[in-house]
Structure 1
Amino acid sequence: MNKENRNIIGGRQIEINGSVLLLIGPIGTFFSRLSKFLKSKNINTYKILFPYKEYGFKKNQIIKFNEEMNSFKLFLLKVIEEKKIRHIFMYGDVIIPHQIAIETCIALRKKGYEIDTEIFELGYLRPNYVTLEKNGVNFKSNIPRDKKFYEKLEKVKVIPKAKYNIGLRVRKLWKGITFIHHAFTNYQITEYDHKLQPKPIYLYYQLLGFIRKYIYMIEEYKIKKNIGKRKNFFLVVLQVSKDSQIVEGSDFNNIENFIKYVIASFKKANIKDCQLVIKHHPRDRGYNNYKKLINTEIKNNQLKERIIYIHDLKIASLLRNKKCKGSIMINSSVGIQSLFHNVPVKVFGKAIYDIDGLTDKKNLEEFLQKPSPPNQELFKKYFNYILQTTQINGNFDGYFPFDHVFNIVN
């Protein structure tokens, strides 16, 4: 183990004992780095290259697929057989080829084949972690949701603190290059609008988001400074619009319906000297602005000066504020951050942490009136379990502990 790996805190480790196939990775160079690592360990590594350009692979690794998605399953089966594939890696489980790969491999395992599907995703624990799970992530994750499962685990005295090694952040430059190429590539890989399938207009939204960041920084300075100074507040965390966590993982279908529901419930709860702080998702800054909708709901519900809408403000600073009485969200990783800071959580959807003893099971109106804090002993067990079984202390653009994560068996 090299010197850097000695600083890694626990985390997922897997055994590589056969040929590897890479599908679509995170935008940037992460999968090419993974490929180089595996090749250096004498692991046969192949990359299916869709019309979406991904850089850093050698010609003898690349297997091109330019056909319609209805022919991908047979193509994939042929590749698995010819290349004797044992492990398939991908980023996210939302796009069509990844869904096909997961379902295909499940069917093959039932027939006795040894083949794993491993899915990378942004970290459940943030910052400084990425996720790596078998067969599904986020609301499709196989993480146990049963309170009794965690109660039986050994007591955890202290939650480990992640080490942060920023690495070569210059790699982020490749994200921009790749994103631009993808935006001008007309090839369907999702069933609905998604950030993993950008369009030319998304380049405008990205630029708009960059500009808006500094506009909001000026416009909201005084508002942010006064949050939690005098009045208690509940934090409402918005998701990215049209994210799978909303479209597939919840009953709301869109952010607008969620906002209306939360504001209406806040009105019914009739809590004195309390505010709602609605925080926009940073990755959705250029795509949407809910100010007009929120102002309309404020007027309809007669909640003037009771609701604050903000954009860029560190979540941790809000959660550490003693005036923060709870957080409300749909399938957001902020829920785990809230539990970490002992802030009561009301979550909608199919969150991996929506477990008795961690989140509040009352309806939203009752939660706002009397929020229940999480059981910290249970949370420490939960945190440690997902850390050890699904998380990796590293990042896609900077340092990643390849030697620590992948145990090579030749």
Structure 2
Amino acid sequence: MPVKPLSFLLLQGVSSPFFARLADALRECGHKVHKVNFNAGDLVFWFPRSHRTHFRGNLEQLPEFLKSIWQEFEITDQILFGDRRPVHRAAFDKAEQFGVRTHVFEEGYFRPFWVTLEREGVNGHSLLPRDPDWFRAAAGCLDAQPTEKPKRFHSAFRKRAAYDVLYHVAGLINSVLNPRYRIHAPITAPVEYAGYLSRFARLPKWRTRDAELINRLCKEAPKHPFFLLPLQLNSDAQIHHHSRFDNMHQVIESVLESFADNAPSGARLLIKNHPLDMGLVNYPRHIRKLSKRLGLEGRVEYIETGNLDQALGSAAGTVTVNSTVGIVALEKECPTLCLSDPIYNLPGLTDQGDIDNFWQEPVKPDQNLFEAFRKVVIYATQINGGFYCHNGISLAVENAANMLSTDQSPLQYLLEACPP
């Protein structure tokens, strides 16, 4: 049970019933809960619950609106998904001035059975220290605690897609309900769905082709080493707000230029698309043009699908901006270089050198340090559960409600027990 009742404000969540069910659980714990809806999709998942306010203003009016909500409902804590959404930036930036704690949900750093919950920011805003010695010490503080194994569940993509369609169909009345609202995604829902339908129709053909290519690269790896470049979504906040790149075209061009100038002549580069890419960008054509210009024809391969674990198990190294694929690569003992500064970009884990040198002498991760990193990050920031299926949501709601009800977060406990 909580030490004292809290007053929570829920802002925008994922396109699923997760936030609504979390609110119900927090009320059962004795807390007060109020919700701000920004569009019709938010309202659909909240219905028929009361204790809500609809924001119909523009972003310039949002700071004063939030201030009035914080004061009127005596808010102690606010909960949101993604700290870089336009409707969240004022809440994220100003809350501390009014004594309001911020709890941020995000997709899991470790997947698929975890989601992220941190106080005061995630990803580039995470309060996790960037000192490998701290992770070793903090892991030691947790030695007496049992290693948590997540409860597994199946999250079908069709369920997530159905929730997303419901959210955007409801958005058809935004012109009446809130004409000033602008969705944070750069692509409209109809264009997005058309892209998905076209891409998914071709997946069966791609799976066979890509599996054969990965098998061949792995077989030839001893003689012709290959490096992996996993693509991220162009809409990813990790790219726009936590890197020097604007899109994946820039990433591909930067990596290929370095590879052309510095990689061993027999080395190859495998570029893998993101599994949730909408298929609206013609990456193969872009890669072919760059390869021809840089003299890399026959040395750069592109896949849409494929067994990532298999590729990482044989790859000479992985180059990523800040994708969670980097964590998977480290787990597979694959040398990894980051083009920005994700939470796992630590001396001893990722290669701290220049990308030009990485092709010649990639540095393997310290597996003892990685085990310490994983243990600490899961304890401090991950909760078992998911956002888009019944069992996953139930797990996430139960575990999140327990964490949100405590005065001290798991990370705060570690920071006090093992000061950086």
Instruction: Work out the CA distance in 2 between the residues paired with 1:378 and 1:183.
Output: 50
Equivalence for 2:411: none
Superposition deviation, residue 326 in structure 1: 0.8
Equivalence for 2:135: 150
Equivalence for 1:376: 367
Change (3 A) 1:278 1:188: farther
Change (3 A) 1:258 1:208: same
Equivalence for 1:6: none
Whether the 8 Å CA contact 1:97–1:189 is kept in 2: the answer is no
Whether the 8 Å CA contact 1:240–1:281 is kept in 2: the answer is yes
1:76 to 66, 77, 80: 66
SS in 1 for 2:219: coil
Mapping 1:6-405, distance limit 5 Å: 17-54=5-42, 55-108=45-98, 113=99, 115-155=100-140, 161-166=149-154, 172=160, 173-182=162-171, 185=174, 194=185, 198-231=188-221, 232-320=225-313, 323-398=314-389, 399=392, 400-405=395-400
Equivalence for 1:7: none
Whether the 8 Å CA contact 1:95–1:189 is kept in 2: the answer is no
Matching residue's letter, 1:307: V
Ranges in structure 1 where 5+ consecutive residues have no aligned partner: 2-13
Change (3 A) 1:185 1:224: farther
Whether the 8 Å CA contact 1:183–1:202 is kept in 2: the answer is no
Ranges in structure 2 where 5+ consecutive residues have no aligned partner: 408-420
Change (3 A) 1:385 1:206: same
Instruction: Work out the CA distance in 1 between the residues paired with 2:181 and 2:328.
Output: 32
The structure where helix makes up a greater share of residues is 2
Matching residue's letter, 1:211: A
Structure with bigger RCO (C-alpha 8 Å, 6+ apart) = 1
TM-score (norm: length of structure 2): 0.84
Instruction: Work out the CA distance in 2 between the residues paired with 1:222 and 1:319.
Output: 15
SS in 1 for 2:320: strand
Change (3 A) 1:118 1:367: same
TM-score (norm: length of structure 1): 0.86
User: How many matched pairs?
Assistant: 389
Instruction: Work out the CA distance in 1 between the residues paired with 2:364 and 2:343.
Output: 18
Matching residue's letter, 1:181: A
Comparing 225-234 with 63-72, which one deviates more in the overlay?
Answer: 225-234
Change (3 A) 1:324 1:228: same
Superposition deviation, residue 300 in structure 1: 1.7
Comparing 168-177 with 144-153, which one deviates more in the overlay?
Answer: 168-177
Whether the 8 Å CA contact 1:207–1:286 is kept in 2: the answer is no
Equivalence for 2:412: none
Change (3 A) 1:165 1:217: closer
Superposition deviation, residue 292 in structure 1: 0.9
SS in 2 for 1:349: coil
Matching residue's letter, 2:29: K
Change (3 A) 1:393 1:188: farther
SS in 1 for 2:233: coil
Cα RMSD (Å) of the superposition? 2.8
Whether the 8 Å CA contact 1:28–1:171 is kept in 2: the answer is no
Instruction: Work out the CA distance in 2 between the residues paired with 1:199 and 1:104.
Output: 31
Instruction: Work out the CA distance in 1 between the residues paired with 2:108 and 2:121.
Output: 14
% of aligned pairs identical? 28
SS in 2 for 1:88: strand
